[in-house]
Amino acid sequence: MNEVTPVVASGPASGPASAIAVVDDHGAQVQRMFGRIAHGYDRANRVMSLGIDVRWRRRAVADLLSHVPASRTAVGLDLCAGTLDSTIAIHERFPTARLVAGDFVAPMLEAGRTKLVGAAGERIETRVMDAHALPLGDGECDAIFCAFGIRNLSDLARATAEQARVLRPGGKLVVLDFFRPHRLTTKIVHAVYNRGVLPWVGWAVTGDREAYQYLPRSIGKFDSTDEYAARLEAAGFVDVSAESLTFGIASIVRATRGPT
């Protein structure tokens, strides 16, 4: 799916201050890009989505950890967590869960940490990590959430295998993203808004037009929901389903980690 060379990162990083061992050229470009726009990322998001992303996130996280018995503390990973908007939404929905927010751009996580108040600061741990080599043990997580993250990865097959590894059998994977559209109306919306409007709004808010030209390019190269569902099934996930949001602009894909 992604045309770049495979990631060669290994040697999981841990702790907020640690750096990622090695990422490939595409990963390094993505890291630099999000490092540049971290300061204005939240503002740009709100303006560009007119706040709809907040609703999408809430809907996507609604059942994320509902399967975990109340007798133990649920463990969730927000992967490609960026500035923690989704992590905070998960915390608000499941306040007793222990949450790890992982991202390979430290300034994004640092911008997010400033938003943590009260119990959120105790329940949410931020960790610099590469999605291709998760610094977590086998079966350590009850759920993984990823919003607008996997589209950026260099080797989605490898990252998917990592997600299957760190999820316990029966664990949930929920992905919210802009999948490659297949409906004509959605294609038109993507073409007009993402290619025409969005780079200029992104430039006005962050001063970085290039980063916001990358978004439509990355959507064009990404899986459709059907392709992604097939990928998950091949990696051992079951009960894979997709829900389309706001005329198919974004979708939520939900899956359960199979027994093996």
Ligand X SMILES: C[S@@+](CC[C@H](N)C(=O)[O-])C[C@H]1O[C@@H](n2cnc3c(N)ncnc32)[C@H](O)[C@@H]1O
34 binds ligand X (CB under 6 A): yes
- Please state, in angstroms and rounded to a whole number, the distance separating the CA atoms of residues 231 and 252: 15
Part in contact with ligand X (CB under 6 A); list of ranges 128-136, 196-204, 236-244, 247-255: 128-136
Of the pair 147, 174, the CB lying nearest ligand X is at 147
- Please state, in angstroms and rounded to a whole number, the distance separating the CA atoms of residues 216 and 178: 9
Write out the two tokens for 160: 């998917």
Site map (CB under 6 A) of ligand X, residues 152-181, x = contact:
xx----------------------------
Which residues from 98-127 bind ligand X, rule CB under 6 A? 103-105, 108
Closest separation between CB of residue 184 and ligand X, Å? Answer: 26
76 binds ligand X (CB under 6 A): no
Cβ partners under 8 Å of residue 85, min gap 6 = 42, 45, 53, 54, 57, 112, 147
Of the pair 68, 134, the CB lying nearest ligand X is at 134
Part in contact with ligand X (CB under 6 A); list of ranges 62-70, 149-157, 163-171, 217-225: 149-157
**3-class SS letters over 79-137:** ECCCCCHHHHHHHHHCCCCEEEEEECCHHHHHHHHCCCCCHHHHHEEEEECECCECCCC
Of the pair 148, 237, the CB lying nearest ligand X is at 148
Of the pair 102, 248, the CB lying nearest ligand X is at 102
Among the listed residues 2, 13, 27, 249, the single contact to ligand X using CB under 6 A: 27
Among the listed residues 60, 68, 100, 148, the single contact to ligand X using CB under 6 A: 148
Closest separation between CB of residue 133 and ligand X, Å? Answer: 9
Burial class (CB in 10 A: 0-12, 13-18, 19+), 95: exposed
Closest separation between CB of residue 230 and ligand X, Å? Answer: 22
Among the listed residues 2, 13, 30, 256, the single contact to ligand X using CB under 6 A: 30
Of 213, 186, 178, nearest to 197 (Cα)? 213
Which H or E run includes 52?
Answer: helix 52-61
- Give me the residues paired with residue 255 across strands: 173
Of 47, 121, 54, 122, nearest to 86 (Cα)? 54
149 binds ligand X (CB under 6 A): yes
Query: In the complex, which residues of this chain contact ligand X (CB under 6 A)?
Result: 27, 30, 34, 80-82, 85-86, 103-105, 108, 130-132, 147-149, 152-153
